[in-house]
């Protein structure tokens, strides 16, 4: 019974930053920003995504995997060894903190697919996606936190400062960071339930609830995605993967689909644009994200912030030099950038798209 | 004379103290229940069908239509209708005929489905003050779009969009032919469709001249009788529908007797006056799925690729059939559930063949998704949509739009008396008798039908608002927003929904 | 002047200090190094001036009844929620859902405001709330407005450029909105009538804007130099035909 699931619901705060010139920034910075919004969460989930943290292994897919049970690790590693060249395996370094009594086993792998295993038209990335789907949905007690190159996700049950201390975030430097503090209203206590959610190098942190989750999920299932995590944020990550990687749309077009303009505004567009946006809404109707949300979407080439089309969740953006910051609250930005050059609140459904310099 | 042992069902009564002998009841009754007895109105109550026309037009409220108290003895197994039908069949040797949809009691799945609403974790939306979109497109959509960038970096659409029908709301009128209903009834549908930005459907009766101003809101139908079909007809509307079957009478054809084919009906159907209009049970050019494909593409070629809809009755294997229809090239699959209405159908067929629209819709939507072809065609759900609530639930189960026939006729006066096949409809709907059809003023009743659509539009918006979404596509197929109450595990599984409380 | 350093202070501790100071009779309180603390001046009553340096957090001055709050920078969302009396002056911009259900008092903002500002503002008896924003506003400005005055100035926008979003005054059934710039009927709620201002309106505007300019160091003449549009509800029951009885 594929409909027999319990959907997770959560409120939240989010923050992110990007250095367009790829200047690497310590994880302590983003943790400071997120910690200011601790009260937007309830201590039952916080997490961070970082890009550019593994320059020595940038050719390899970096898998961060959590295990609830040791046996799951055996299954996964056997499976990985059959399908990948494994460059390096290590437990993710952590520091014991009193707030975390028990934690899952956390291991990272730097791997590359074995050439003869990659078949089909989708190439290497489709192969990796299928591996992630398989581990998440078929191997009990194993869950892939992240699977992109030169990036990784650190998340768990705890408030923002606890999670950053536990994962020793101050030891990482990245040129894009996103972070999230979570206020789950059910399924507490599962590390995999924290944000960010990822697939390949796509990562999502999200505030709000996707009221259209039901149809977004069924739409993605048509394309072979397995939605095993019971949270609406997962659909966002997969929608970006579908629209950008598999359908080849650009980020802006993907955003037009997810937070589509209203018909009455489409009617006012010039004929070409009207035809295009109408086609997008017709074709991708089931991908419309409806309900309150603001989200940050990180990927290997940049950072995107967007909120829903009637702006039911907050998002503030700011710039300083080559840095762009986005957060649920201006104060979270000022905590790490006290005097920005420009501060603004993006309009409903209008994405802030930041791309790394070449 | 032999007196029928099938007793009358209703007892028409006139309070002689209130009656002013105006004879309006005599004029209004299409069934000749009343006649003039010299000093008072005489009543042949066996002719009364309880359509309430006389009641509404009696100026002194003298008329009361009662349920006939004289009945067969109650029996928990042999229902009144079982006994009565046997009596009728014994007397006539005929098949009991029925009109309108199946009226048997039994589990109505719509009534066991409850919609969701927002509380705290996501906000409901005020549909009156904030945007709320019901715009719906029917037709094939590509599975993905491709763009190129021009030299200024401006994106350009490469994918050619298939033609789609634009609806202001996800509700259309179901096909009802000129012949089965009066021209005035069709005009009501056409005017209301235009007024509301939706569509009506000619049914298999051709297109009367008078409907030509409304063709941008008309789907023309092609069925087994091919009545009124020529290239001009095929191109007249916005789309063409191939009718394979009807929910009320799957697997059987139709028969409009010659006496109901006056000049105007004959002209529209392109047949001689007074000949029987027979619709064969199957389309004799479709004995298999590849034949359907052939007809779909013949119509597309003849219309320069207008959208083609295929209407089927929801029978047991509906999911596989619908999948075949989509793969045969249909742009729209019209599913007509067993509760759907009809002008005339044998009771045994109407009441015992086919499956409910709720099951069929869920199965078809599931199947098309499993096969990855859900975008290839839109689904219209019909056959017993009684309210905006049914419509919302059908959309949540996976319908792109619903079609209403019976509900639309009710705005014209229909009271579901179920005697459409007699051609005596006192409301002027399912009759061609000029003195009866003249009663149905298209202008007046188009306002009422438009009112109904407007009211349903507001109701759908209220539901979407409560669900916290502001576009109907966010409800479409979102079964997560439905829960079942009092349904067993297997039914829930078939419908793809959770039980209430989960 | 009583000073409190808010640096890295948790909002509960900070608010306790503020309340203690007010209770001990302080009339002039300055909060330094504020950043993101929620609920400042929330539920606060009486005659006291509070100056905030830094960006205060959400739900500033909710249910406030009397005090004057002066914010030297930007402010966030949900300010003056159900405020009863007093005044808030914001020298920068502010966020979404400002003055929700505000029943009295004033809010003067120099910069832009976000979505759903002045939502369901209402007057009762002699109370009449006022919000004046110097910049632009997002969609749903004055949604459900039932009373009071909302003024939007667009001071930093060129003349004739739009300064307010869509769904302007949607659901409005009382009060007045003044827009110092163009207003297109298609972006207004169905209940809203757009009209030219007359001499009486000018008096009303001058009264409100004189104080606003004084608070924010602006020139009244300059502010009054452009034409205003006036928006009022044209029906107190716009949905009469919506229901069947």
A128-164 pLDDT per residue, tens: 999 999 999 899 999 999 999 999 999 999 999 999 9
Give yes or no for A244 touching B (CB within 8 A). no
Are the Cβ atoms of A218 and B478 closer than 8 angstroms? yes
Rg of chain A (C-alpha set):
19
Residue A3 clears pLDDT 50, i.e. is over it: no
The average pLDDT across A217-238 equals 88
Q: Assess contact for B200 and B190: CB atoms under 8 A.
A: yes
Give yes or no for B123 touching C (CB within 8 A). no
**Would C123 be classed as within a structural domain?**
yes
Range of the domain at C141: 93-233
Give yes or no for C235 touching B (CB within 8 A). no
**Would C35 be classed as within a structural domain?**
no
Q: Which residues of B230-257 are buried (b: 16+ CB within 10 A; e: fewer)?
A: eeebbebbbbbbbbbbbbbbbebbbebe
Q: What pLDDT score does C236 carry?
A: 63
Q: What pLDDT score does A1 carry?
A: 34
Q: Assess contact for B384 and B340: CB atoms under 8 A.
A: yes
Range of the domain at B316: 177-473
Helices A251-258 & A271-283 angle (0-180, nearest 10): 70
pLDDT tier for residue B274 given thresholds of 50, 70 and 90: confident
> Which residue among B122, B130, B145 places its CB closest to the CB of A208?
B122
Are the Cβ atoms of B125 and A248 closer than 8 angstroms? no
| pLDDT tens digits, B14-71 | 999 999 999 999 999 999 999 999 999 999 999 999 999 999 999 999 999 999 998 8
Q: Which two tokens stand for residue C231?
A: 């928006």
Q: What pLDDT score does B294 carry?
A: 94
| pLDDT tens digits, B217-266 | 999 999 998 999 999 999 999 999 999 999 999 988 888 878 788 899 99
**Would C217 be classed as within a structural domain?**
yes
Per the annotation, the verdict on A255 as an active-site residue is no
Provide the strand spans (E) within A210-311: 293-299, 302-307
Q: Assess contact for B200 and B171: CB atoms under 8 A.
A: no
Based on the structure, what is the number of domains in chain B? 2
Report the C-alpha gap between A196 and A179 in whole angstroms. 7
Segment 85-144 of chain A within 8 Å of chain B by CB: none
CA distance A356 to chain C (A): 29
What's the mean per-residue pLDDT of chain C? 95
Q: Which residues of B352-369 are buried (b: 16+ CB within 10 A; e: fewer)?
A: ebbbbbbbbbbbbbbbbb
**Would B322 be classed as within a structural domain?**
yes
C-contacting chains (≥3 CB pairs under 8 Å): A, B
Are the Cβ atoms of A331 and C77 closer than 8 angstroms? no
Report the C-alpha gap between B89 and A251 in whole angstroms. 70
Give yes or no for B374 touching A (CB within 8 A). yes
> Which residue among A36, A343, A348 places its CB closest to the CB of C115?
A348
Q: What is the DSSP string of B256-270?
A: E-GGG--HHHHHHHT
Are the Cβ atoms of A316 and C95 closer than 8 angstroms? yes
Q: What pLDDT score does A2 carry?
A: 43
Q: What is the DSSP string of A192-227?
A: GGSSPEEETTEEEEEEE--TTHHHHHHHHHHTT---
Angle in degrees, CA A181, A187, A193, rounded to 5: 45
The H-or-E segment that residue A251 falls in is helix A251-258
Report the C-alpha gap between A13 and A208 in whole angstroms. 9
For an interface test with B, the pick among C96, C169, C171 (most B C-beta atoms closer than 10 Å) comes out as C171
C186: nearest CA partner in chain A:
A264
Q: What pLDDT score does B414 carry?
A: 97
Cβ-based interface (< 8 Å): residues of A facing C: 36-37, 39, 265, 310-311, 314, 316, 329-332, 334-335, 343, 345, 347-348
Q: Which two tokens stand for residue B373?
A: 């072809």
Closest CA to C59 of C74, C37, C44: C37
> Which residue among C143, C242, C244 places its CB closest to the CB of B129?
C143
Report the C-alpha gap between C101 and C81 in whole angstroms. 6
Q: What pLDDT score does A187 carry?
A: 55
CATH code of B420's domain: 3.20.20.70
Q: What pLDDT score does B89 carry?
A: 95
Q: What pLDDT score does A6 carry?
A: 54
**Would B198 be classed as within a structural domain?**
yes
Q: What pLDDT score does A228 carry?
A: 73
Are the Cβ atoms of B478 and A212 closer than 8 angstroms? yes
Name the stretches of chain C with pLDDT < 70: 236-238, 240
- Let me know whether B66 and B182 are in one domain: no
- Let me know whether B205 and B305 are in one domain: yes
Report the C-alpha gap between C171 and C150 in whole angstroms. 15
3-class secondary-structure state, position A327? strand
Residue A99 clears pLDDT 70, i.e. is over it: yes
CA distance A168 to chain C (A): 22
Percent of chain A with pLDDT over 70: 95
Segment 311-350 of chain A within 8 Å of chain B by CB: 312
Least confident of A14-23, A224-233, B169-178: A224-233
ipTM: 0.92
Q: Which CATH number fits domain A10-355: 3.40.50.300, 1.50.10.10, 2.60.40.10, 3.60.20.10?
A: 3.60.20.10
CA distance A262 to chain C (A): 11
A-contacting chains (≥3 CB pairs under 8 Å): B, C
What's the mean per-residue pLDDT of chain A? 92
Give yes or no for C201 touching A (CB within 8 A). no
B126 neighbourhood in chain C, CB within 8 Å: 171
| pLDDT tens digits, C64-81 | 999 999 999 999 999 999
A2 neighbourhood in chain B, CB within 8 Å: 496
Based on the structure, what is the number of domains in chain C? 1
The total of other beta-carbon atoms located within 10 Å of residue C28's CB is 13
Least confident of A176-190, B255-269, B288-302, B407-421: A176-190
CATH code of C170's domain: 2.160.20.60
| pLDDT tens digits, A297-311 | 999 999 999 999 999
CA distance A245 to chain B (A): 12
Are the Cβ atoms of A335 and C36 closer than 8 angstroms? yes
Half-sphere exposure of B438 (CA within 13 A, CB side): 5
Angle in degrees, CA A19, A24, A25, rounded to 5: 90
A33: nearest CA partner in chain C:
C36
Give yes or no for B369 touching A (CB within 8 A). yes
Are the Cβ atoms of C239 and B128 closer than 8 angstroms? yes
Give yes or no for B371 touching C (CB within 8 A). no
CA distance B460 to chain A (A): 16
pLDDT tier for residue A7 given thresholds of 50, 70 and 90: low
Report the C-alpha gap between B488 and B330 in whole angstroms. 34
Q: What pLDDT score does A12 carry?
A: 87
Q: Judging by beta carbons within 10 Å of its beta carbon (0-12, 13-18, 19+), is residue B386 exposed, middle or buried?
A: middle
Sheet holding C229-233, edge to edge: C2-5, C28-35, C49-55, C65-71, C85-90, C106-109, C130-133, C146-152, C174-179, C229-233, C192-196
Higher local confidence (pLDDT), B152 or B364 = B364
Phi (first) and psi of residue B376, to 5 degrees: -70, -25
**Would B160 be classed as within a structural domain?**
no
**Would B416 be classed as within a structural domain?**
yes
Report the C-alpha gap between A298 and A263 in whole angstroms. 29
Provide the strand spans (E) within C135-183: 146-152, 174-179
B-contacting chains (≥3 CB pairs under 8 Å): A, C
CA distance B401 to chain A (A): 14
CA distance C117 to chain B (A): 14
**Would C195 be classed as within a structural domain?**
yes
pTM: 0.93
Closest CA to A316 of C157, C141, C112, C42: C112
Q: What pLDDT score does A39 carry?
A: 86
Report the C-alpha gap between A299 and A49 in whole angstroms. 10
The average pLDDT across B477-491 equals 97
Report the C-alpha gap between B401 and B335 in whole angstroms. 11
Q: What pLDDT score does B278 carry?
A: 86
Q: Which two tokens stand for residue A192?
A: 């995999």
DSSP letter for B46, please. G
Are the Cβ atoms of C167 and B128 closer than 8 angstroms? no
Segment 111-150 of chain C within 8 Å of chain B by CB: 140, 143-144
Are the Cβ atoms of A330 and C95 closer than 8 angstroms? yes
Q: Judging by beta carbons within 10 Å of its beta carbon (0-12, 13-18, 19+), is residue B170 exposed, middle or buried?
A: buried
**Would C134 be classed as within a structural domain?**
yes
Give yes or no for B115 touching A (CB within 8 A). no
**Would C97 be classed as within a structural domain?**
yes
Report the C-alpha gap between A348 and C114 in whole angstroms. 10
DSSP letter for A156, please. E
Report the C-alpha gap between A207 and C199 in whole angstroms. 48
- Let me know whether B212 and B360 are in one domain: yes
Q: Which residues of C198-224 are buried (b: 16+ CB within 10 A; e: fewer)?
A: eeebeeebeebbebbbebbebeeeebb
Q: What pLDDT score does A42 carry?
A: 81
From first CA to last CA, the distance across chain B in angstroms is 65
Give yes or no for C38 touching A (CB within 8 A). yes
pLDDT tier for residue A11 given thresholds of 50, 70 and 90: low
What's the mean per-residue pLDDT of chain B? 95
Q: What pLDDT score does B402 carry?
A: 98
**Would B148 be classed as within a structural domain?**
no
Q: Which of A8, A10, A12, A237 is flagged as catalytic? A: A12
């Amino acid at each position: 019974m594929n409909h027999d699931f319990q959907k997770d619901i959560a409120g939240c705060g989010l923050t992110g930053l990007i250095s367009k010139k790829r200047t690497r920034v310590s994880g302590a910075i983003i943790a400071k920003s997120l910690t200011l919004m601790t009260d937007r969460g309830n201590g039952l989930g916080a997490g961070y995504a970082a890009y550019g943290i593994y320059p020595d292994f940038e050719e390899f897919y970096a898998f961060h995997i959590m295990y609830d049970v040791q046996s799951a690790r055996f299954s996964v590693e056997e499976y990985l060894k059959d399908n990948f060249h494994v460059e390096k395996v290590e437990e993710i370094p952590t520091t014991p903190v009193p707030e975390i009594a028990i934690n899952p086993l956390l291991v990272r792998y730097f791997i590359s697919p074995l050439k003869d295993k990659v078949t089909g038209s989708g190439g290497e990335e489709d192969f990796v996606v299928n591996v992630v789907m398989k581990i998440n949905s078929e191997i009990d007690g194993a869950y892939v936190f992240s699977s992109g190159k030169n990036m990784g996700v650190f998340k768990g049950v705890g408030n923002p400062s606890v999670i950053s201390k536990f994962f020793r975030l101050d030891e990482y430097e990245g040129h894009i960071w996103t972070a999230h503090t979570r206020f789950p209203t059910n399924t507490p206590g599962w590390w995999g339930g924290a944000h960010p959610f990822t697939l390949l190098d796509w990562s999502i942190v999200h505030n709000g609830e996707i009221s259209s989750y039901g149809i977004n999920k069924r739409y993605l299932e048509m394309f072979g995605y397995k939605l095993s995590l019971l949270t609406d944020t997962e659909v966002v990550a997969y929608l970006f993967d579908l629209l950008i990687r598999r359908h080849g749309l650009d980020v802006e077009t993907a955003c037009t689909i997810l937070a589509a303009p209203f018909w009455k505004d489409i009617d006012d567009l010039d004929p070409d644009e009207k035809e295009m946006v109408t086609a997008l809404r017709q074709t991708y109707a089931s991908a419309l994200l409806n309900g309150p949300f603001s989200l940050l979407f990180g990927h290997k080439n940049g950072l995107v912030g967007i909120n829903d089309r009637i702006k039911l969740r907050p998002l503030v953006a700011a710039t300083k030099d080559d840095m762009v910051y986005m957060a649920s609250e201006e104060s979270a930005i000022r905590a790490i950038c006290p005097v920005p050059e420009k501060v603004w609140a993006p309009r409903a459904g209008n994405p802030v798209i930041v791309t790394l310099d070449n | 004379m032999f007196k029928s042992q099938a007793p009358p069902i209703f007892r028409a009564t006139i309070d002689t103290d209130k009656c002013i002998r105006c004879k309006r009841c005599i004029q209004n009754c299409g069934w000749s229940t009343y006649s003039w007895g010299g000093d008072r109105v005489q009543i042949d109550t066996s002719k009364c069908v309880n359509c309430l026309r006389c009641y509404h037009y009696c100026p002194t409220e003298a008329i009361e239509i009662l349920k006939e108290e004289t009945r067969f003895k109650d029996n928990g197994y042999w229902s009144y209708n079982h006994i009565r039908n046997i009596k009728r069949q014994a007397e006539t040797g005929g098949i009991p005929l029925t009109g309108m949809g199946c009226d048997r009691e039994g589990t109505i799945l719509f009534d066991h489905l409850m919609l969701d609403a927002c509380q705290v974790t996501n906000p409901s939306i005020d549909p009156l003050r904030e945007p709320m979109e019901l715009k719906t497109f029917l037709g094939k959509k590509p599975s993905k779009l491709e763009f190129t960038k021009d030299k200024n970096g401006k994106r350009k659409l490469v994918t050619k969009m298939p033609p789609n029908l634009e609806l202001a709301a996800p509700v259309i009128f179901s096909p009802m032919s000129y012949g089965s209903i009066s021209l005035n009834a069709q005009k009501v549908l056409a005017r209301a469709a235009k007024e509301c930005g939706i569509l009506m459907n000619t049914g298999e009766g051709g297109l009367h001249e008078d409907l030509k101003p409304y063709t941008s809101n008309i789907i023309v139908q092609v069925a087994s009788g091919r009545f009124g079909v020529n290239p001009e007809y095929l191109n007249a509307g916005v789309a063409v529908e191939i009718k394979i079957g009807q929910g009320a009478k799957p697997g059987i054809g139709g028969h409009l007797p010659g006496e109901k084919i006056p000049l105007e009906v004959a002209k529209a159907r392109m047949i001689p006056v007074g000949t029987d209009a027979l619709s064969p049970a199957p389309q004799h050019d479709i004995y298999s799925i590849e034949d359907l494909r052939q007809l779909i593409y013949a119509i597309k070629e003849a219309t320069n690729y207008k959208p083609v809809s295929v209407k089927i009755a929801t029978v047991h294997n509906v999911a596989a059939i619908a999948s075949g229809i989509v793969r045969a090239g249909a742009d729209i699959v019209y599913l007509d559930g067993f509760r759907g209405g009809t002008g005339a159908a044998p009771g045994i067929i109407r009441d015992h063949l086919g499956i409910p629209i709720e099951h069929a819709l869920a199965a078809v939507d599931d199947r098309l998704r499993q096969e990855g072809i859900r975008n290839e065609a839109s689904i219209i759900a019909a056959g017993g949509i009684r309210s905006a609530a049914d419509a919302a639930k059908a959309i949540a189960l996976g319908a792109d739009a619903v079609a209403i026939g019976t509900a639309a006729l009710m705005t014209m006066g229909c009271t579901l008396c179920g005697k459409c096949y007699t051609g005596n409809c006192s409301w002027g709907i399912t009759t061609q008798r000029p003195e009866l059809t003249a009663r149905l003023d298209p202008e007046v009743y188009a306002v009422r039908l438009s009112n109904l659509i407007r009211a349903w539009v507001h109701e759908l918006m209220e539901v979407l608002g409560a669900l916290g979404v502001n576009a109907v596509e966010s409800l479409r197929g979102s079964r997560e927003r439905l829960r079942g109450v009092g349904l067993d595990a297997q039914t829930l599984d078939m419908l793809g929904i959770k039980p209430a409380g989960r | 002047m009583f000073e409190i350093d808010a640096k890295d202070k948790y909002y509960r501790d900070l608010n306790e200090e503020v309340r203690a100071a007010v209770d001990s009779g302080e009339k002039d309180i300055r909060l330094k190094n504020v950043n993101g603390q929620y609920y400042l001046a929330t539920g606060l009553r009486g005659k006291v001036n509070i100056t905030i340096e830094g960006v205060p957090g959400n739900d500033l001055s909710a249910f406030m009844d009397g005090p004057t709050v002066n914010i030297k920078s930007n402010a966030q969302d949900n300010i003056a929620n159900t405020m009863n009396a007093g005044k808030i002056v914001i020298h920068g911009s502010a966020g979404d859902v400002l003055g929700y259900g505000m029943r009295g008092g004033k809010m003067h903002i120099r910069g832009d405001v976000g979505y759903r500002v002045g939502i369901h503002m209402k007057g009762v008896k002699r109370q009449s709330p006022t919000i004046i924003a110097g910049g632009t506003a997002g969609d749903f400005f004055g949604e459900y407005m039932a009373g009071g005055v909302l003024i939007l100035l667009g001071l930093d926008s060129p003349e004739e450029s739009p300064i307010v979003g869509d769904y302007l005054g949607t659901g409005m059934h009382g009060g007045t909105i003044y827009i110092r710039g163009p207003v297109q009927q298609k972006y207004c709620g169905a209940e809203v009538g757009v009209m030219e201002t007359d001499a009486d309106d000018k008096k009303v505007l001058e009264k409100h804007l004189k104080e606003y300019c004084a608070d924010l160091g602006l020139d009244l003449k300059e502010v009054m130099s452009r034409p205003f549009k006036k928006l009022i509800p044209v029906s107190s029951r716009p949905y009469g035909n919506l229901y069947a009885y």
